[in-house]
Amino acid sequence: MAVTLLAGSTFALMPLPVQAQSAPVVRGLPDFTELVELVGPSVVNIRTLEKARSDGVPEGMDEDMLEFFRRFGIPIPNMPRRRGQRPGHPQEQPRGVGSGFILTADGYVMTNAHVVEGADELLVTLTDKREFKAKLVGADKRSDVAVVKIDASGLPAVKIGDVTRLKVGEWVMAIGSPFGLENTVTAGIVSAKQRDTGDYLPFIQTDVAINPGNSGGPLINMRGEVVGINSQIYSRSGGFMGISFAIPIDEAMRVSDQLRASGRVSRGRIGVQIEPVTREIAESMGLAKAQGALVRGVEVGSPAEKAGIQAGDVITQYEGKAVEKVSDLPRMVGNTKPGTRAAITVWHRGAARELNVTVAELKADADEAERADDEEGPKEKPSAAAQQWGLTVAEVTAEQARELRLKGGVRVVSVDGPAARAGLKPDDVIVALGTTDVHALKDFEAALAKADRKKPLSVMFRRGEWAQYALIRPDK
| Spatial distance between the Cα atoms of 139 and 109, rounded to a whole number of angstroms | 12
Is 114 annotated in the active site? Answer: yes
From residue 347, give the alpha-carbon distance in Å to each of 181, 297, 464, 470: 54, 15, 25, 16
Secondary structure E strands in 75-223 = 91-102, 108-111, 121-125, 131-140, 145-149, 159-160, 171-176, 184-195, 203-206, 218-220
State yes or no: 250 annotated in a binding site.
no
Is 215 annotated in the active site? Answer: yes
| Spatial distance between the Cα atoms of 63 and 247, rounded to a whole number of angstroms | 23
From residue 183, give the alpha-carbon distance in Å to each of 40, 129, 137, 176, 177: 7, 11, 24, 5, 6
Burial class (CB in 10 A: 0-12, 13-18, 19+), 317: middle
Q: Taking the CB of residue 358, how many other CB atoms lie within 10 A of it?
A: 14
| Spatial distance between the Cα atoms of 353 and 344, rounded to a whole number of angstroms | 8
Pairing of strands 314-318, 272-276: unpaired
State yes or no: 215 annotated in a binding site.
yes
State yes or no: 263 annotated in a binding site.
no
Annotated catalytic residue, options 144, 373, 427, 428: 144
Q: How many CA atoms lie within 13 A of 267 on its CB side?
A: 25
Annotated catalytic residue, options 42, 114, 313, 328: 114
State yes or no: 144 annotated in a binding site.
yes
Q: Which residues contact 429 (CB under 8 A, 6 or more apart)?
A: 373, 396, 400, 404, 406, 409, 410, 411, 412, 461, 462, 463
| Spatial distance between the Cα atoms of 152 and 132, rounded to a whole number of angstroms | 8
From residue 322, give the alpha-carbon distance in Å to each of 296, 315, 455: 19, 9, 29
State yes or no: 114 annotated in a binding site.
yes
Q: Which residues contact 313 (CB under 8 A, 6 or more apart)?
A: 294, 295, 346, 347, 348, 353
CB 109 within 8 A of CB 96: no
| Spatial distance between the Cα atoms of 259 and 251, rounded to a whole number of angstroms | 13
Is 144 annotated in the active site? Answer: yes
| Spatial distance between the Cα atoms of 245 and 140, rounded to a whole number of angstroms | 17
| Spatial distance between the Cα atoms of 110 and 157, rounded to a whole number of angstroms | 11
Q: Taking the CB of residue 37, how many other CB atoms lie within 10 A of it?
A: 10
Provide the H-helix boundaries in 94-175: 113-116
Annotated catalytic residue, options 42, 143, 191, 215: 215
Q: Taking the CB of residue 429, how many other CB atoms lie within 10 A of it?
A: 24
Task: Point out the residues that are catalytic.
Answer: 114, 144, 215
- Residues forming the annotated binding site for substrate? 114, 144, 213-215
- Residues forming the annotated binding site? 114, 144, 213-215
